Structures are given as C-alpha cells and as structure tokens.
Structure 1
Amino acid sequence: MELEPELLLQEARESVEAAQSYRRELSQRLQGLREARRQIKESASQTRDVLKQHFNDLKGTLAKLLDERLVTLLQEVDTIEQETIKPLDDCQKLIEHGVNTAEDLVQEGELAIRGGIGEQNEKLWSFTKKASHIQLDSLPEVPLLVDVPCLSAQLDDSILNIVKDHIFKHGTVASRPPVQIEELIEKPGGIIVRWCKVDDDFTAQDYRLQFRKCSSNHFEDVYVGSETEFIVLHIDPHVDYQFRVCARGDGRQEWSPWSVPQIGHSTLVPHEWTAGFEGYSLSSRRNIALRNDAESSGVLYSSAPTYFCGQTLTFRQVDVKRSDAQTLGSSGKYSEHAGASDLKSPEFMPSFLGSAVFVNGKEMTNQLPAVTSGSTVTFDIEAVTLGSTNNNEGGNFKLRVTISSNNREVVFDWLLDQSCGSLYFGCSFFYPGWKVLVF
C-alpha cells in the first residue's frame, strides 16, 4: 500500500530533521572527543617539559652541591696540612742551624789541632772555649711517624645506593590530579565552588583554590584551607571565570598538580546596598555597608528587589566594634523614611534582631545566637502552596522562611496578602562600627 503524497512528504521531512539532529549530536560528540584528545596531548607535552626541566635543574643542583662539598673537603686538607707541617718546619730549621754550627766547629777544630801545641796554643784555647759554650749533647726531639698526622679521605660508597634509591623513587606521573572541581553554583555576585578528592590513596591536608577571568592570563589565590567548598565573591554577572584547585598531601610541603580548569559564571544580579543613606558608607561594589554615624536611625535598604524565593540570602558581619543591637530583614516594599523599628512591622519579612526573631510583627520564642564579628546569618525562603479560596485576600499567600546562624536555625511561615516575586532586604545598626557583607 502506497502512502499519500502529503504523508510521504511529511515523513521525508521528519526523516531529514531527524538526520540533521543526529548529525548535530554526532558533531558535538566529535568536538568533545577533540577536546579530550587535545587535553591528553597538551597535558602530556607539558608534563614532559616539566620532567625535563626538573631533572635538568636537579642535575645542575647536584653537580653544584658536589663541587661545593669537594672544595670544602680540599680546604680541610689544606688547613690540616698547613697547621701540622709548621712545627716540623720549625724543627727542621733548628736542626739545619745545628748542622751548620757543628760543621763550622769541626773545621775550626781540625785547623787548630793541625797547628800543634806550641804554635797554635792560642787557637786551641780559643776553639776549646768556643766549643764549651755550644751544647753539643742537646739534640732536638723529632716526632715519631705514628705521632704526626697521616691524612686520608673517608668516603662511604653506600651514599650511591642511598641516592640511587631516592632517585628511583623520585617523582611520579599521574593520569589525573588527585582533586577535581565537583560543582559550580551561581550566587548573586558570587560562585560557590565545591571540589572533591578523586584519588583514594591521597590524604589531603590543605586545599588551594584559584580563579581568573577567562580574558586574563593570571590566576590568583582566593582560598587556602581544609574545607572542600568556598564562595568566591566579587563576581561580575555574565562573565566567564576559570577555577582550579590543588591539594597538599599530609605532612608534605609541595602542592599537587592543578585540577582540570572549570569555567563558570553567574547570571544573577549582585546584591547591593543603596548609596546615599545617612549614617552608612558603602564599599566600591556596594555589597558591604559600614555604620559610621550614631545620629541617624534609618534603615539601609538594598538598591533593588534582587532577592527571589529559592535563593539563600546571606549576611556576614565583617567587623563589629561592640556588641550592640542590629536588625536584619527583608521586605516587599521600600521606604526612604523607614526607621529601625519598621523592620519588625507585619509588612516586613521575619526579621533577626541580635538573637530575637520577629514574625509578622510579633516576637517569637525561638532565639538564635547573638551576632558577633565573623557571624553569618542566612535567610532561605520558599513559597508554600495554599488551597484555593474565593478571593486573594486575607493572607492567601505563604512563604516558609528559614533563618540560620551558627549551626542553629528557626523555621516559620510568613503570611502575605499577595504574591511577591522579589524582595528588598534591609539592615539597621544602632551604634557605629558594624560592617555587614551581603551576598
């Protein structure tokens, strides 16, 4: 049975589309294979260069060290030789002087004797007198050979075996680094980087995280420590960044090879405080606010409603001069004239005042730890679906809020008259010296 021309044409078009999709998928896989092949070839070439350079440097250093040791030992030989030969030289000079004196005395005595007693009486008398003043029986002491140094070199050939064993064990080649980046999670103005070990035999003591803009040639350190997660702040939105991590083995000084760089970016707009509020000064990126004036008592708001349900809003106390009251919270509304007490009104999101928590304008019995320097307070909000009603009034929308601080948290519901797609946030500090970072 033959198909109708229209059906046949439609089937042909579908086959062409399927073939095109299949071709695209295969092309993507070919591209992935090319990138994998390039990574293997480039890393192998870099590893060869590193090995050659390292062993050339090692040979040069070893040759220099051996030359320096040889010079030191030769200097020791020279010193011993000079110090121990000097007494022998002094003794030799004394003996040679005695030999010359004795030869002169022999010649003079033989002449006096040949002259006879009569004629040479004065010569004999003079010679005898002269000889009596010379101690012909005093001989200098010459040291025995066993009492003088006999230099030698003590060279332990076992050093060759020791060096050989170390050289044979020196250096390893790994098919992959012992640690890799596991996940990149975008945050407003930041990226959470998580990594993990991929070598079970490697015991990590510390990790080292670096990042750079893809347009830059230089990585910079952002974290060194024992944690396997870190949030990198000051990230510009819609800009690609590269991240890499390495580890230091337990009891070792050198770092492992770098992980395969991972590219990440954030599409979320950074949280910013509003500039120009009396009593507060901001950092250049406007994500850090400092309370620097005790006269005004207004609330410092975010510049825009940049907080959305499902995100985590984090406040970190960068610095605290004294333990005085502070209020953190968020709102669907914005007011330039709001006071600190307004953060506890029903139109505001549940607020955190030091350790007291306010929900819908009422203080809760649940308490959180007091905020101190370095403390972090997080707000997590999710929308809760309510049953259908005849109208959208009377608290028909509910948000479930979780406030966490210092490993403790409180959870409660916030009732709203209308849905709220995004929220402002705000803070208020009564005394100067408080500095808060938001991300």
Structure 2
Amino acid sequence: MSVEVDLLLQEAKESIEAAQNYRSELQQRLNGLNQARKQVRGSAGQAREALRRHFMELQAAAGRLLAERLDALLAEVDAIEADSIKPLDDCQSLIEHGVGQADELLREGEAALRCGLGEKEDKLGSFTKKAMHIQLDSLPEVPALVDVPSVSAQLDDSLLGLLRERVSHHGSVSSHPPVQIEELQERPGGVLVRWCKVDEDFTPADYRLQYRRSGSGGSQYEDAYIGRECEFLVLHLDPHTEHQFRVCARGEGRTEWSPWSVPQAGYTTLTPHEWRPGTEGYILSSRRNIALRNDACQARCPVLYSNSPTYFCGQTLTFKISAAGPLDRRDSLGVCIDSEQQEESLQRDRAVCISTSGAVFVNGKEMTNQLPAVSVGSSVTFDMEVVNLLPAPSGGGGGGGRLQLSDGCSFKLRVTIGSGNREVVFDWLVEQAVDCLYFGCSFAHSGWKVLVF
C-alpha cells in the first residue's frame, strides 16, 4: 500500500510541476501578447498623431501660399491701375484747365458785348487778343477705350483638379515597415547589425541605421550608417550596456525615408580590441583602436601588439588601412600566440600574417598563395575555427568560442585570410594550449595608419 501511495505522491508532484511549468509558459505568452497589443496600439496612436500633424502643417502651409499668391496678384492689379490712371488724370487736369479758361473767356466776351459804346472798342479788342492767345481750335487728345488697360484676372480651374489628384495619393499607411532587423551579433566593443527587406514591392535605394542607449537615461537616436549595404558593425559601444537599433530605407527615386523598423535591443559582452600603449614608433588614438606609425625607430621595424589577447576563435578580426607609407618586406598584419617584444616582424614562429605586398606567412614561412597588396582603403580579415579539437582535460570547461587545448597535443586551426576580393584558407598547427590570441602589426616606415575591430 505504501508503494502505491509513493507512486501517487510522485505522480502528483510531477503533475504539480507540469502545471506550474504550463502556467509559467502561458503567463509568458500572455506577456508576449500584451507586448504585441501595446505595439499595435502604440504604433497606431503614433501614426494617427503623425498624420494629423502632417496634414495640419500642410493646411497651414497651403493657406500661407495661397494668401501670398493672392497678395502678389492684387499688388499687380494695383500697379497696373496706378500706372494707367496717371496719364488719364493728367489729361483730365488739362481739359479741366481748358474748360476754366473757356468759361472765363465767355464771361469776358459777354461783358464786352454789354458795355457802352465808349468802352466797347477797347473791351472787344482785349477779348479778341485773349481768345487768339488761348488757341480755341486746339483740343487735347483723349485715348480710345481700346488703347487703355482693361484689367482682368485669369484663373486656371485645373489647379483644383491637380491638387485633388496629388492629395488623393499623398501619404500612405502600412501595417509593417518595408525593412526589419533580422540579426544582432556581438563583436568586440560593438554589435554587428544585419537587416533585410520584407516588402517585395519596395525597391530600396539606401538604408539608414540608427542606435541609442536603452533605459530611462537613454540618449536620442543617432545615425550609424547610410548606404546600400544590408549590414553594419556599430563600434565604440560599452560592454554589457544595452542599446536599441532601428533601420529604415529610401525607395528608388524618392527623397523621403520609410517608417522605422521595430527597434531591437542588443549589447556586447566582448572587450573592444585595443593596441598596446607605450610601444615605441607608434601613436594611438584615444580609444586605442587606431595606430599610426610615426618617424621614431626608423632603423627598426617594431611590432605593435594588442593590449591583451582579445581575439577568440569563431570571431572575425578586421584591419582597415586608412593611410599608407613606403612598402617593406618586413611589414605585416596578423595574429599570434604570444607577444615577443624583441621581434621585428610578425613573419615568425607561432604567428600567421599577411605582408603589405600580399604575401601570406605561417610560422615565418611564406605560402605560395598570394593576396592583393595592402594599400589605402584595404580591409584585411582573419577568421579561425577549430578543426580537430581533442577533449579538454578533466575539470576543464569550454564555450564562448574559445580554444581548449590539451598540453602536449597538436591541433589544427583553419585560418581564412581575406584581402580585397580574394581569400586564402589553410590549416595552422598549434602545439600548445591557448585560450586566446594576440593580434599585431609591424611597419618599417612611417605613414601607415591602421584601425582594428
């Protein structure tokens, strides 16, 4: 009987645990539904507000434009009227002056006819002289109606039709943005953002990526990239700090940007790559990710290493050349197991590298494969993966893409070096236990400037 009770108790406990898990899963789905509902209602509210604000601004702007055009046309009417009335006013003044002279002459003539015989001769003589002086046969010319302006307004009723046509197609509403972020990958000191087009009818000309720090104290979004590529590495991010990323696009032949994608949160746990400070012959940027070979140590070809072994297998290490100096056979960019200060080049044992001429070296030996020469604008990438990793010693743990190698054993790392539009792939034999790798560069002459990420 006790065995049956124990079995029932066990089944009851399992059922209770299953019910708890089931309730937890359902609660998570409810939270997901709440987030989805919040996104739908929140985005719909924002869309309504954007539409109202935009059309109110259009109405105000259209009213201002129409008022300005009306004022300009009325001013033209005023100017035509003023220019046309002035000569008519001048002519009227001349005629009115003549009428006044004629009235005065008539009064004098009538007075001369009424005067006595003793004064008549003098009065009539004076009147006759005055009449001759006035030139009663000279009349001013009055312009014909066809010769003076007749002001009119020409108004094209097609404007309303054109406006109706443009307004009826102005603006659009969509349930989903045309592009969405599809992947966020952490990189040393940054996040690689990849996005894709989700609207088949949309033809993008450019993409625009923005990011900002998450949380209540987060900053405003700022541009990280504008261009045609569908991925971008956002650098200079503080590790373990969440950031929000969003992307939009601009269609072919359009000037306006599409709606933003749904923001995605991402962060990096990886320490940013940094060059080692204090190496003679090199000047570093404030973030220590850019190194400039200066005029010091011209007699030597010092190697500049990373500040610590921050490159792990499974990552992509990139060197970007932003300035170049004279070539030298000792110049090199690459990775190594240790950081030997006395070396003058990475073309040595326990290192793989590429020279500025494009030659590839493995443990100091040049390969037959050749890559394009390194110059201004070149990007050189290193990718590594474990080929035949043996089980780690008892008690050892793996993960995170790090190498876990047993002492006394040989292991292969498959190395891919890319430069320009070409790459070489080879296996590098590693004969000691390593957890991470250094990176480095060496330049014999000044003028070389390299960014690492």
Fold equivalence (TM over 0.5)? yes
Q: For the residues of structure 2 that align with 1:72 and 1:123, how far apart are their CA atoms? A: 61
2:192 maps to 1:180: no
Q: Give 1:3 deviation, angstroms.
A: 6.3
Does the alignment pair 1:362 with 2:365?
Answer: yes
CA deviations 1:218-251 (Å, max 9, x no partner) are 0111111111111111122211111011111111
Instruction: Give the Cα–Cα distance (whole angstroms) in 2 for the partners of residues 29 and 61 of structure 1.
Output: 47
What TM-score, normalized by structure 2, do the two folds share? Answer: 0.91
1:353 deviates by 4.2
Cα-to-partner distance string for 1:106-142 (whole Å, 9 max, x where unaligned): 1111111223665411111111122112211111111
d(CA) in 2 for partners of 1:395, 1:345? 21
Partner of 2:352: 349
For 2:434 and 2:208, locate their aligned partners in 1 and report how far apart those are by CA, in whole Å: 41
- 1:351 and 1:359 in contact (8 A); partners too: no
Q: In structure 2, what residue type is equivalent to 1:328?
A: L
1:190 paired residue number? 190
Equivalents in 1 of 2:333, 2:322: separation in Å?
14
Partner of 1:381: 384
Spell out, residue by residue over 1:178-202, the C-alpha distance to the aligned partner (whole angstroms, 9 max, x if none). 1111111111112111111111122
Q: Is 1:84 matched with 2:84?
A: yes
SS of alignment partner, residue 373 of structure 1: coil
Matched, 1:304 2:308: yes
Q: 1:396 to 1:91 in 2, by over 3 A?
A: same
Whole-Å Cα distance in 2 between the matches of residues 263 and 387 of structure 1?
Answer: 37
In terms of mean alpha carbon deviation, does 47-56 or 161-170 score higher? 161-170
Deviation at 1:213, TM superposition (A): 1.0
Write the distance in 1 (CA, Å) between the matches of 2:334 and 2:315. Answer: 15
More displaced stretch, 64-73 vs 152-161: 152-161
Equivalent position amino acid for 2:65 in 1: L
Q: How far, CA to CA, are the matches of 1:435 and 1:304 in structure 2?
A: 20
Distance 1:355 1:239 in 2: 38
Secondary structure at 1:318's aligned position in 2?
A: strand
Equivalent-residue separation in structure 2 for 1:319 and 1:211 (angstroms): 29
Q: Hey, what does 2:422 align to over in structure 1?
A: 408
Partner-residue secondary structure (3-state), 2:351: coil
Deviation of 1:395 after TM superposition, in Å, equals 7.5
SS in structure 1 of the partner of residue 275 of structure 2 = coil
Structure 2 CA distance for aligned equivalents of residues 335 and 222 of structure 1: 37
Quick one: percent identity of the two aligned structures? 62
Residues 272/387 of structure 1: CA separation in 2 closer, same or farther (3 Å cut): closer
Q: What do you get for the CA RMSD once the two structures are aligned?
A: 2.1
Equivalent-residue separation in structure 2 for 1:138 and 1:386 (angstroms): 124
Give the secondary structure class of the aligned counterpart of 1:366. strand
Does 2:31 correspond to 1:31?
yes
Instruction: Report the residue type matching 1:310 in the other structure.
Output: G
Query: CA shift at 1:2, angstroms?
Result: 10
Contact 1:327 1:427 (8 Å CA) reproduced = yes
Give the counterpart letter for 2:291 in structure 1. Answer: A
Residue pair 2:356, 2:375 contacting (<8 A) in 1 also: no
Structure 1 stretches of 4+ moved >4 Å: 321-325, 392-395
Q: What residue ranges of structure 2 are gaps of 5+ in the alignment?
A: 392-405
Partners in 2 of 1:387 and 1:167 — Cα distance?
70
For the residues of structure 1 that align with 2:161 and 2:2, how far apart are their CA atoms?
Answer: 86
Q: 1:431 aligns with which of 433, 445, 449?
A: 445
Q: Secondary structure at the match of 1:308?
A: coil
| Contact persistence 1:350–1:414 (CA under 8 A) | no
- Hey, what does 2:280 align to over in structure 1? 278
Q: Does 1:331 align with 2:331?
A: no
Q: Is the 8 A contact 1:309 1:421 kept in 2?
A: no
- For structure 1, the residue ranges without an aligned partner over 5 or more in a row are none
Answer whether contact 2:327 2:356 (CA < 8 A) is retained: no
Pairwise CA distance, 1:4: 2.1
In structure 2, the CA distance between the partners of 1:269 and 1:221, relative to structure 1 (3 Å rule), is same
Task: Give the alignment's TM-score, normalised by structure 1.
Answer: 0.94
